[in-house]
Every structure is written in structure tokens, then in C-alpha cells.
Amino acid sequence: MNLPKWVFPLFLIFTLFKPQIAIGGFEISSEFLKIAKQDDIFNWMVGIRRRIHENPELGYEEFETSKVIREELDKLGIGYKYPVAVTGVVGFIGSGEPPFVAIRADMDALPMQEMVEWEHKSKVPGKMHACGHDAHVTMLLGAAKILKNHSHLLKGTVVLVFQPAEEGGGGAIHVVDSGILENVKAIFGLHVSPALPLGQVSSKSGTLLAGSGFFEAVITGKGGHAAIPQHSIDPILAASNVVVSLQHLVSREADPLDSQVVTVAKFQGGGAFNVIPDSVTIGGTFRAFSKESFMQLKQRIEEVIIGQATVQRCNATVEFSSKDKPFFPAAINDNRLHEYFQNIAGDILGPSNVKTMLPLMGSEDFAVYQEVIPGYFYFLGMKSESNKKPASAHSPFFEINEDILPFGAAMHASLVANYFTEIQDSETRLNEKHHDEL
């Protein structure tokens, strides 16, 4: 078949630039993972992640981490607001106009000594990125780079949330209180998972993670010599009865179909084998999937501690979550976003790599965003064939498989980029329905 000479150049141009053409929506997501895996972008992300990993900072102390983020955003030409929630950074890509869609990464490390010996081990004694937040920051920066290069196709504004103090400090609360997310339509977040294979995602609609709180109690008796206990009031005995009784709250009072946890993880009292101390301090965490169960646990924990201490002739004071350790609600994924997430993740990773999980009793302050904005949280796998038994998060032997970085960057970029079309399509369907009703 003979074709005009102008057809081939036109076909070549269309083929070369097809990944950057939006046809009835944003259709370049399938290219994002390829882009993120390119050597220059991958190596750039690896360098950032290692730089952050070497200099871990605890909640609200992430000043150097924040500086790294701002330096990279400046290089990319991305505007941002700083400080947000003390050390946080919030960037903006796109038209600067509504709709606004957000992606979040947490920044803080843990007070742990790293036990992994490698070239880029933590340089700060007693501090370590043992939960993957260094990778989270890096993947969000990777997404920012991809989105900035395609910003002319964004039909709205992407909000990049680099959040401090996720590890119990309630950084999300302060970000929400700042008002910077007031007009955001949806927010997405992820967490690395050493249990899932590399490039696999897992989540569910509805309740994903539990609400959590902390408690601390001081049980006071009367100290004395261990050889003559009748002259003392033993707070260790009282505290021991308290610990045993607290375990009955779940086993005897909770509905077996309503998952709850009460764990006493702190027990401090006494300093000598032959001295009964004046007081004992205990503390722990309690978790539940519903607000009703959570508040019931809180009430009963206080009643049991005070009651059992009284039985043993002791006094007790109970304190719950403080400013430094606030309550976190359950993380509840928006049902509509779940369907959307499955479609996008299936396109990028393949449907076989999109898994549905059971709820976990772990908690995440991403839940704070979900109370005010439709939100979706998921887990991204990084387990490799060479590391079939990886250490869990919060372990001093925790390691990041850096091959995960392109997957996270591509998922972040795709979820927000496509969501603008999702919003417009939803509004169109709503208008059509309204028109039909008229």
C-alpha cells in the first residue's frame, strides 16, 4: 500500500510523544514506573535516601531532613510553604488552582541504635530510620520530580505533604490545624512493607488500622525492708495484680468479634533486691477499631488500675495520652478511593500484585487526615529473593530494599495525576444525573 510521504513523519511524532498526550483524561501513568526506573532518577533517589538515612532525626527535630527536602524542591522549581508543624514542608505542583489533591510522607526517625553494618549506617548514636520514613520522603520527592516534568498536563494542583513526628508525636494533627489542607479533595499515603514482595501493594476499604492511645500509672504504697513486708505497703504486688487484671479487659469484657488490645509494656519500680519501693510506674498502649470500643477501654483501664491498687491498700494516679503522645483514631480508607486505587495500582503493577489485606492493630497518624479529608493508605512491598526473612519495622536490623523507590514514586504520581480526571468525571456524572432529575 502506498502512503503519502507526510504520513510517516506524523506517525513517528505521534509514537514518540504519545505517553505525554492526555486523551479523555490523564493517560501516562503506565509510563511513570519506566520513568522512575531510569538510571538518572533512580540514582538520584538512592542518593537522597542514603543522605537522610545517615542523619536520622526524631519528631519535630527534622531540621536537616527538612533542609534536604527544600533544597531538592528548589532545584526542581517547586514552590512550597515552610515551616508547617515546626519542621514540615508542603509543596505545590500544577495549575495552582482547584481541585487540590495531596500526597503525604512522614519524616521522623526512631530512638534506636542501628545494628546493620553498611556504608551508609546512621551517624547519630541512638537514632535510626527503622520504619522506612527515609524511603517515604525519597519516594515523595521522586513523585514530585515526575509530576513537575508533566505539570502542564495536571488539571489541578498536587499538594506534597512532608510531615514531621509520625512516631507518636501527632505531626498530622498540627498539619491539619495549620489549615494548609483546607481545600484538599483527597489525600494518599503509603508505608513500606518488608513482608510483601517487591512491587506488590496491599490495602482494603474501610477500617485498615486501629485507633491507639497510651496510658501511664503511678501506684504508690509505703516502702520498707523486704524482710519485714508487714511494715510496708507493697506497690510491686499491687502493680502485678493490675497488669493481670488489665488482660481480662479484652479476654472477658470485649466482644470476640471486635478486635481490641491492651498491652502493658513499661514496669518500673525498685532498685535493690531487699528494698520494697515507695512506688511503681507502669505504662502501655490500648487499641481498638471503633471509637466506642476505644473509649470503653480507656474508661475501664482507669477503673481497673485504681480499683486494684485500692484492694492492695495503694493509691494510683492514671494519665492518658499527652501533648507528646496524643490519641490517634482508626485509619479508615474511603470506599470510593479503594476502587480507584485498585484500578490505578492494577494498571501500574498488574492486577495480580494488588492484594486485599485484613485490618491491623497497628496505628498511623495518617488517620487524622482521614477524619477531615477522604483518604487512602496502603502498604508497598519490598521483600526480595535475596532477603526472604527481612527484619520488621522498628527493629534495629531493619533495612530498606532501595529497588522499592521507583515503585513508590510512580504510585504516588499516578494516584494524584489521574485523580483530577476522576474528580471531573464524577462531577460530570453528578451533573448529568441532576439534569436527568430535572
pLDDT in tens, 419-438: 998 877 665 554 555 445 55
Domain assignment present for residue 2? The answer is no
Q: Is 22's pLDDT higher than 50?
A: no
Q: Locate cell 538512592: which residue?
A: 46
Claim to verify: residue 251 and residue 123 sit in the same structural domain: no
Quote the pLDDT of residue 131: 98
Choosing from 320, 348, 370, the residue where a domain stops is: 320
Claim to verify: residue 90 and residue 235 sit in the same structural domain: no
Claim to verify: residue 284 and residue 179 sit in the same structural domain: no
Claim to verify: residue 257 and residue 294 sit in the same structural domain: yes
Domain assignment present for residue 316? The answer is yes
349-353, long-range: CB < 8 A, 24+ apart: 349/33, 349/199, 349/200, 349/201, 349/407, 349/411, 353/197, 353/199, 353/200, 353/201
Q: Is 157's pLDDT higher than 80?
A: yes
Domain assignment present for residue 123? The answer is yes
Quote the pLDDT of residue 213: 96
Mean pLDDT of 301-314: 98
Q: What is the domain count for the chain?
A: 2
Higher pLDDT, 113 or 387: 113
pLDDT band at residue 30 under the 50/70/90 scheme: confident
Which amino acid would we find at residue 281? T
Mean pLDDT of 92-97: 96
Quote the pLDDT of residue 21: 38
Domain assignment present for residue 5? The answer is no
Q: What digits encode the pLDDT tens for the residues 169-205? A: 999 999 999 999 999 999 999 999 999 999 999 999 9
**Domain harbouring 392, CATH code:** 3.40.630.10
Claim to verify: residue 197 and residue 268 sit in the same structural domain: no
Mean pLDDT of the chain: 92
Claim to verify: residue 41 and residue 142 sit in the same structural domain: yes
Claim to verify: residue 146 and residue 43 sit in the same structural domain: yes
Claim to verify: residue 30 and residue 136 sit in the same structural domain: yes
Mean pLDDT of 298-316: 98
Q: Is 167's pLDDT higher than 60?
A: yes
Claim to verify: residue 165 and residue 62 sit in the same structural domain: yes
Domain assignment present for residue 15? The answer is no
Choosing from 259, 293, 320, the residue where a domain stops is: 320
Claim to verify: residue 100 and residue 46 sit in the same structural domain: yes
Domain assignment present for residue 6? The answer is no
Claim to verify: residue 202 and residue 225 sit in the same structural domain: no
Q: What digits encode the pLDDT tens for the residues 130-141? A: 999 999 999 999
Claim to verify: residue 140 and residue 186 sit in the same structural domain: yes
Domain assignment present for residue 104? The answer is yes
Mean pLDDT of 322-338: 92
Beta bridge mates, 225: 275
pLDDT band at residue 120 under the 50/70/90 scheme: very high
Cα atoms found within 13 Å of the Cα of residue 177, Cβ hemisphere only: 8
Query: Which domain does 305 fall in, by range?
Result: 211-320
Domain assignment present for residue 168? The answer is yes
Q: Alpha-carbon distance 345 to 298, whole Å?
A: 38
Q: Locate cell 477503673: which residue?
A: 303
**Domain harbouring 264, CATH code:** 3.30.70.360
